[in-house]
Amino acid sequence: ETGVTQTPRHLVMGMTNKKSLKCEQHLGHNAMYWYKQSAKKPLELMFVYNFKEQTENNSVPSRFSPECPNSSHLFLHLHTLQPEDSALYLCASSQGYGDTEAFFGQGTRLTVV
């Protein structure tokens, strides 16, 4: 247990659904990240929040909408997704942006049908 908790662990949703992924960290970190892990591809950084402010959006489609209400919580709101969005979504945190060690959650396995 690294102190980063993601819920749900698994999610199946239709293309017209709206759902949210949740990430919570109890490490007192100030930076939080969303990554997408697809089969046979490197992890892709999606969003970065530093002190609750979004500092990076890696050209992610608008059907993915992040929210960071405080330094401990990070959400990823999903709507009108496509089947190619099926992947493992990983949340991570670090003490500060650019700190040497990032701590990861166990991910949410998302399947879009």
Partner 1 sequence: AQTVTQSQPEMSVQEAETVTLSCTYDTSESDYYLFWYKQPPSRQMILVIRQEAYKQQNATENRFSVNFQKAAKSFSLKISDSQLGDAAMYFCAYRSLDNAGGTSYGKLTFGQGTILTVHP
- Residue among 91, 90, 63, 89 nearest 77 (CA): 63
Provide the total of helices (H) and of strands (E) in the chain, helices listed first: 0, 11
- Residue among 73, 78, 59 nearest 15 (CA): 78
User: Please, which of residues 45-104 interact with partner 1 by CB under 8 A?
Assistant: 45, 48, 56, 88, 90, 92, 97-102, 104
| Binds partner 1 (CB under 8 A): choice among 40, 59, 69, 83 | 40
| Binds partner 1 (CB under 8 A): choice among 46, 76, 105, 112 | 105
Q: Which residues of the shown chain bind partner 1 in the complex (CB under 8 A)? A: 2, 33, 40-43, 45, 48, 56, 88, 90, 92, 97-102, 104-107, 109
